[in-house]
Amino acid sequence: MRTSLSFNKCRQRRPRAGFTLLETVVYTSVFALVLLSIMGALLAVTKASHHVSEERAVAVSAHLALSRMTRDIRSAESVDGGSVLNVHPGRLIVSNNGTTTDFFLEEDTLKVKENGILQGSLLIPGVTVGSFIARSSQNASSTAVRIEMQLQAGTSTGFIQKDFYTSAVLRNGY
């Protein structure tokens, strides 16, 4: 009888240490799915952030450019004959008390000159002009200018293009 007891003691299993191959595969798969979900969320947030910053750049550029043009048109006495109106790329030259302000496109960037001296670009870097058209209309007592401008920014994966408009009446027009 003594031999059977010692044989049973040898057959008892020790507690196993570590994981089985199946458990390792399952844990690795779950970890990979969680990691892929996190990476997808981070990529979506990054893409949205770039899109928002490009939208903001276009909006700020439009505000700066149109505000400057509107202010100069309202203070102007006349639209200069050298202006290129009703076509793209347009050119708007306004005169006020001997000061000539010239708005024009150069390499898809809207620039301004005062009395022939380049003042620089009216756009934030990275924003380009798709279209710039100035239109002038007159009646017996006033002259008005309408600006139509299309701004764009981004790359092929996140391209933004928006149209902006403004109108202003020249100073002596009301």
Sequence spans of domains, the chain? 25-173
Tell me the residue ranges of DSSP E strands in the chain: 78-79, 91-96, 99-106, 109-114, 117-121, 127-138, 143-153, 160-169
- What is this structure's pTM? 0.74
> Residue 139: how many CB atoms within 10 A of its CB?
8
> Residue 2: how many CB atoms within 10 A of its CB?
6
Tokens of 28: 């690795």
Per-residue pLDDT of the chain (174 residues; tens, 9 = 90+): 555 555 555 556 666 677 889 999 999 999 999 999 999 999 999 888 888 889 999 999 999 999 999 999 999 988 888 889 999 999 999 998 889 999 999 999 999 999 999 999 999 999 999 999 999 998 888 899 999 999 999 877 778 999 999 999 998 755
